Amino acid sequence: MTGENNASRTNAPGTNEPGANEPMSKQCEAGFCESRREPLADYLANRDFVSSTQLRRFDKSGLTASQLADGGLVTGTVMGEALHALVLEPEVFSQQYLVLADADHDRRAPSEAELMRRIWLDAWQWSALSYARDALLACSQAPVADWLSAGNKELSIYWIDEVGARWKARPDCFTRGIVLDLKTTSDCRPDAFKRTREHFGYDLQAAHYVEAVTRLTGSTPQFAFLSVELSAPYSVWVHELEAGEIRAARLLLDQLKHAYIAASKTAGDAAGSA
């Protein structure tokens, strides 16, 4: 299903791949859905489509992406992003991060320019990331290692819905059967993580990802948060959302999208019209 090269494109059945030399937003019509293998920076920089993060920021602020000083672009914590790279894209981790005081991690001496470009991690950070990764892969609650091995990781999905609004999503990992979202947290126990989900609007993100994968593959997947703590004992909990939780989140997501579309028409944002 996925391409191997950066910015390669794959399409759901029944869609046509746009011309390589034209902006994607000018080729798309309602019902279009496409996946792209591209760097995260390219996904974040694409202002023609709206993500669940931008929707959740609109929910709190009432401002569309074009009305926010940063364009609605938000990155995570250093440790959270590093764990995502280590677990989901180890080759990206090797290119973007430098583990200090670990001669075995990078045997090739990087150039000075490389040293300045990479994100530095100290021995404690590397230890925490390694233990968290190993805990995830050894999880006995669910077949996490198998899911991660079989799934499409960090694949961008773009689509235009029936009213012509443009959306995008980049699930951490997905198959036709399940979507996985990796979350670092201070307390992964169900009650505590449920409060975290409610505070940050994670279920809206889950519903958005499920919609993206459904449109791309034609199959409606289940959804699970993989929550992991970055301190000993590096506890892991798999939170599989019930169908009713996804339905409830989808209703809220649809309401939020309608409100965003109305606001974006005034602001001139991409979601307002195709």
Q: What is the mean pLDDT of each run of 10 residues along the chain (274 residues)?
A: 41 37 53 95 92 92 74 68 96 92 59 84 95 98 98 98 95 98 97 96 97 97 98 97 97 96 79 52
pLDDT at 30: 81
To which residue do tokens 């894209």 refer? 89
| Helix or strand run (H / E) with residue 243 | helix 243-267
Give burial (CB, 10 Å; 0-12/13-18/19+) of 133: middle
Pick 33-272's CATH classification: 3.90.320.10, 3.40.50.170, 3.40.250.10, 1.10.3720.10. 3.90.320.10
Cα first-last separation, the chain: 26
pLDDT at 4: 35
pLDDT at 63: 82
pLDDT at 139: 98
| Helix or strand run (H / E) with residue 187 | none
Q: 217 φ, ψ to 5°?
A: -105, -20
